[in-house]
Every structure is written in structure tokens, then in C-alpha cells.
Amino acid sequence: MAKKDLHKIRPYGDHWDDGRIQLSFTLPVPAGPEAREAAKQYCEKLGLTAIQIVTMESVAEEFSFFVAYGEAMHHIDFTRIRVPRLEFPILPPDAMVRLAQEKIKRRIVVVGGTTGTDAHTVGIDAILSIKGVAGDRGLEYYPIFRVVNLRAQVDNRRLVEKAAEVQADAILVSKLVTQQDQHLNDLRELSRLLKGEKRLPKHLLRIVGGPRMDHPAAKRVGFDAGFGPGTKPIEVANYIVHELLRRISDGTQSRMEGDSLRQAPPKRRSLFGWLSGGGEDS
């Protein structure tokens, strides 16, 4: 294989730097020779050469689906790419708990849910519930957190009202519904409502996660942090602890009052107890 030049890269398939790519798309025309030629011409307009239409299938009346191969001519300079990302330590659970107990000295209130028309709870429960995911315990497991999980299809105003009521330190929103960027529209509305709610703590962390979310996308819609697919609960927990400590040290809030860790030990519930508990406090 040729030596990599990160200043000039493009896809490869059969051999190094051949530019071979695969793409799929649908055209609003019935399957046939004319449709195949239309697909090829469209690929040409994308700047591809050596085009092969390897699949053409009728997916509905007057609609055809295509899979095409072609060679891309353009290169990019990988060394100039800069992607905003969250930078924070990932402490093991015991060390993270000790840090919060010593520095914050009270339970951190977290309100979460899926908003709008989203009916899924897998993502938010993976982060918040005791069970967690793949052996990584959720925030409910740790004595430093008080979790209020509102579950699915939560109206934005209800989420804001609950966050104000319990004086949340962080809100976690999980978004799955993405047709016509509805997830982004919902998040923009929620961001606007949060900014207008004067009862919320000034240090409130706004966090969003989902299969089509990342940190840059979250920042664009007014949130502090975005977590994408594969995120583990310990990552979210560490971000909350470290970011709250940073905001305290920056003077965002000189004194953070709340439930004492000694006065209010966290409840422990089985998974069945959680599922039957109505999705509120833990």
C-alpha cells in the first residue's frame, strides 16, 4: 500500500486512492431503462466517473431505488479538519463519587426524558436507570445523583416546569424522531423556553443525546453538550460532575444548595420496581 498523505485523501475500494464509493438513492420515476439512465446522469452531475448502476428496484408506484458505484475525483486535506468536542476527565465510578461528595457535597438533581412525539425510552433509560447498559450503571445507581425521569413524549413546557420545580442542576433530553429535522426544531423550542424561565438555576446544564446527535449539533441548537451513539452512562455522569465543578469555580454560582448527601441517601429499586414506578423521582 502506498504511503499515506493525510494532506490529500479520498475514498478507496479496490486499490489505494482509487476514489471508489457506493451510494444509494431514490428517484420519483418508475423503474426501467430511462430510470437507470437518469440515475447514471445524476451521478455524473455529482462529479463521479466510471459509474455503474448495480441495483434498480421499484419501491412504490412511480418510485425507484438505486445503488450505484463510481469514482470520486476530489481529495480533502485531513490535517486541516477541526471538530469541536467535549473535553473532560473520565474517572472510574468510585473516584467520581468521592470527587462529588468532597466538592459539591449534595445530591445533583438531574431531570430527563424524551420530548415531543418521541415514544422511545431505551436511550434515556440506558443513561438514567439503575440497570444502565452493557454493565455500565446508570445515574440512578450513584448516591451523588437524584434522578427525575419523565420518560417518553414529554411536552417541552412540562420538562421546563419540572426542572424549575426541583431546581435541576442538569436536564437530559433524548431525541430519536428526526423526520424533516423535527428533533432539531423541538430542541430549539426547548432551548428558547429554558432561556426564558427565570426560576431555573444559572448553572443548569443542558444535555442532549440521540442516534443523530453530536456535540456540534447540540451547540447549534443552544445546548451545552451533545452525546451520540455508543455513549456510556459513566461518560455523562463524569461530564455533569466536572462541568458543575467548573461552573462553581468560575463563579457561576458561589453557593449551591440542595439535598445533603447524608440527609437523603438515594433509593435503590429493582428494574421491575422502576418500570412500575410511573417514571418520576428516584
**Would you please indicate which residues are annotated as catalytic (active-site) residues?**
131
Name which of 234, 241, 235 is nearest 101 in CA terms.
241
The alpha carbons of the chain give a radius of gyration, in whole angstroms, of 24
Sequence letter at residue 251: G
Name which of 210, 225, 131, 129 is nearest 171 in CA terms.
225
On whether the CB atoms of residues 108 and 144 are closer than 8 A, the answer is yes
Residues 205, 218: Cα–Cα separation, whole Å = 12
Name which of 74, 24, 20 is nearest 51 in CA terms.
20
Q: What letters, b where the CB count within 10 A reaches 16 and e where it falls short, cover 84-109?
A: eeeeeeebeeeebbebbeeebebbbb
Q: Residue 54 forms beta bridges with which residues?
A: none
